[in-house]
Amino acid sequence: MHNLNNIYYFIEEFKESELDKLNSRKISIIYRNYSKNYNISEIIDLKKYCKKRSLKLFLANDFKLAWKLNLNGAYIPAFNNSLKHQLYPKKHNFLIMGSSHNLKEIKLKIKQGCKKIFLGPLFKVSKKKNYLGLFNFRNLAGISRVEIIALGGINNQNLRKLKISGGSGFASISYIKKTAQKSGPL
């Protein structure tokens, strides 16, 4: 693995007590909530918290709001095919990231201007019938021109495999939450 220090944690709501358990030098927060509209005051509170703890904050599927609130960047999910965000002026240090599951989606995310692409699921997860596996992940990571972040099924048993995946980091929900609860700061 190139660098295990690129770690991304997906959250759906701001719980300060959960985030206090994270190591601020390693983990970036991706705030996503697809089931309801974003609460702007909650995002502003989260932004203040992240700034105080030196955490990077990205907003999922709302480029305009992330840009307006001057967050660290935006995360474009695999189902979002829009190119509208490219009409906005470029901001220095505003990172656009996206997720994909195959080569076609990787090409779309590159067209959308993503500098990092979350590719997955790498390992078997209960939500999906199919997963990439290490061989397919390495092949897709090797042919793309951007940083690839492993996504899906990360746990203690396959962490060693993650290190040889060819990705430049990983993203998780449950693994990071469990690890931080058991052993303190991740």
Kindly report the CATH number assigned to the domain that includes residue 131.
3.20.20.70
pTM for the predicted model, two decimal places: 0.89
| Structural domain that includes position 82 | 7-183
Domain contains 2? no
Is residue 108 a contact partner of residue 132, using CB atoms and an 8 Å limit? no
Domain contains 165? yes
Cα–Cα distance between 172 and 10 in angstroms, integer? 6
pLDDT value for 155: 87
How many structural domains does the chain have? Answer: 1
pLDDT value for 66: 94
Per-residue pLDDT tens digits of the chain, which is 186 residues long? 345 678 999 999 999 988 988 866 678 999 998 877 889 999 999 999 999 999 999 999 999 999 999 999 999 999 998 888 877 888 889 999 999 999 999 999 999 999 999 998 989 887 777 888 889 898 888 888 899 999 988 888 888 888 888 888 899 888 888 876 555 545
Domain contains 1? no
